[in-house]
Amino acid sequence: DACHENVLALLRASTRGNLFDVCGIKENSPFQIDGNFGAPNGFIEMLLQSHAETPLMPPDPSSPKSAASTHVIRLLPALPKAWPAGSFRGLRARGTVEVDLEWNNGKAVSAVLRPSTTNTHVIAPPPQQKIASIHAGPKPITTEQNVDGSIRVQLMAGKTYKLAFA
């Protein structure tokens, strides 16, 4: 909800009707590029976050199973109460994963992941939710559950994965 308040403050204080962020409130206030790029990124970060997990030990380049990194995908990490229902399509997470997600009553309903490359991912469900299942087509995928409720799974390039939430 604090993120949402910041979004509203940005829109009220320094955004013109054409959605350009400006420095100041005068008619000829200069265009502010960091606000114009940063604000949409902030909106996206409320819905989807991703980063590379830091391995405890560097990967062994001689091992064929050694991954350079694991990618973490956090779904709806900062969804404000003011957005009780919605969806997004085509947001990109690290590890070249395209993500679609739908939510209702402040809870994730379903997600679709489409990786372009094969990588190991940690997928963190929205706060106070669990990932009930993950399927590649009709086939359920076995995952490794982490203590924090996230799952560790290898996503294969070219496949489509559907997640359901509890």
Tell me what pLDDT residue 58 has: 54
Q: Is the separation of the CB atoms in 97 and 163 below 8 Å?
A: no
Q: Torsions phi, psi of 163, nearest 5? A: -110, 140
Structural tokens at position 103: 């939510």
Would the pTM of this model clear 0.95, i.e. be above it? no
pLDDT exceeds 90 at position 123: yes
For residue 56, pLDDT over 70 is answered with no
Distance CA 59, CA 137 (A): 31
Q: Tokens representing 86?
A: 């919605």
The size of the chain, in residues, is 166
pLDDT score recorded for residue 67: 46
The CA-based angle 90-92-98, given to 5 degrees, is 55
Residue 54: is its pLDDT beyond 50? yes
Segment 113-133 mean pLDDT: 95
* Residues β-bridged to residue 34: none
Q: Is the pLDDT of residue 115 over 90?
A: yes
Q: Rounded to an integer, what distance in angstroms lies between the CA atom of residue 114 and that of residue 156?
A: 9
- Structure tokens, 113: 């992941």
- Residue 75 pLDDT > 90: yes
Rounded mean pLDDT, 64-72: 66
Residue percentage of the chain with pLDDT more than 70? 90
Q: Per mean pLDDT, which range of 56-65, 117-126, 143-152 is the poorest? A: 56-65
Section 83-102 average pLDDT? 96
Structure-model confidence comparison of residues 6 and 165, the more confident one: 165
Say whether pLDDT at 39 is over 90.
Answer: no
pLDDT (mean) for 50-74: 67
Residue 22 pLDDT: 82
Mean pLDDT within 90-116: 97
pLDDT confidence band for 66 (50 / 70 / 90): very low
